[in-house]
Amino acid sequence: MLIKRAKGWELPESKTTPESHYLNRRAMVRAMGFGAASIALPAQLMAQDKSADPSAGLYPGRRNDRYGVPTPMTAEKLATTYNNFYEFGTDKSIWRDAQKLEVRPWTIKVGGMVEKPFEIGIDDLLAKVQLEERVYRHRCVETWSMIVPWSGFPVRSLVELCKPLGSAKFIVMKTLSKPSVMREQRDLLYPWPYTEGLAMDEAMNDLAFIATGLYGKPMPKQNGAPLRLVAPWKYGFKNVKSIVSVEFTDKKPKTFWEGLQSSEYGFWANVNPEVAHPRWSQATEKPLGSDQRIPTLLYNGYAEFVAGLYTDRKAEKLFM
């Protein structure tokens, strides 16, 4: 039997398991727990000033409020010190370790069902797209939520650049593999690299976003520098960080959490307050920094933009 120290990311506070418990893989997933948010803005974060990144002058992107500007905005220090980035550890306070991630040079490999595979550096990619800022709600499957200003560009712009074949049905994105820095990747109980994907029509939807910045600055490392997916109508685990690979395929990909626990996490993962996680309700959420729980909204409040994507997919498990 494989054993694993439990320090996970997704258990409501009421069910938090002490870190000292040693559990097998199944039990580990069952015991994923909340960590505590840091209080003060740490020195390393303060040091992440504009001179540190060659793309710093590009931020903030011009505000696009077409999809609403939800309030209240989450405090920057909370959104940048309370993170899920399993590669660096399974608790919420990985921001310090994540500073070891080097984000230049950074190359993204494009392949699979495309006219011609290619590689592109992050700064060349940034030169080809129009950056904008969008304030989106973010709803983690663990039931915490936040509202933050992302800078970036539509996934559609990335797709157009990649020139997928007409027969491609899914876009698949993967996180960097670097066990020397991303220590948790040495733990082979997880199906590394972190992999996520969208169906092509989801990827082409206006809301689907590649974020390269946050709070008007280049993306903090702990939030997924230099680029990550943001699909705000889905649970946060869809939003793969620190992307190095973009592939197109005609087969539905096996994603990271599906690979770990397919009875609890699926491909579509759309937010729905009426469909409970097997181990907890999804009816309400707790905004970071607030003591009050608030009702969760269908598609995280973005139904008017995305509900139409699923009218012909009713037979599938759309909400897990």
User: Which residues form the interface with ligand MTE (CB under 6 A)?
Assistant: 9, 83-87, 140, 175, 194, 223-224, 236-237, 239-242
**CB nearer to ligand MTE: pick between 92 and 205:** 92
**Least distance (Å) between residue 267 CB and ligand MTE:** 15
**CB nearer to ligand MTE: pick between 239 and 300:** 239
Phi, psi of 45 (to 5 degrees): -70, -40
**Least distance (Å) between residue 203 CB and ligand MTE:** 17
**CB nearer to ligand MTE: pick between 6 and 240:** 240
SS3 309: helix
Cβ-closest position to ligand MTE = 236
**CB nearer to ligand MTE: pick between 113 and 302:** 302
**Strand runs (DSSP E) across the chain, as ranges?**
4-5, 22-23, 62-63, 107-112, 118-121, 132-139, 144-154, 170-175, 195-199, 209-214, 217-218, 228-230, 243-249, 284-287, 294-295
**Least distance (Å) between residue 146 CB and ligand MTE:** 7
What's the rounded Cα separation, in Å, for the pair 160 and 140? 29
**Least distance (Å) between residue 242 CB and ligand MTE:** 6
Q: Are 206 and 177 in contact (CB under 8 A)?
A: no
**Least distance (Å) between residue 194 CB and ligand MTE:** 3
User: For the chain, how are helix, strand and coil distributed in percent, rounded to 5?
Assistant: 25, 25, 50
**CB nearer to ligand MTE: pick between 81 and 113:** 81
Fill in the amino acid letter for 52.
A
**CB nearer to ligand MTE: pick between 33 and 113:** 33
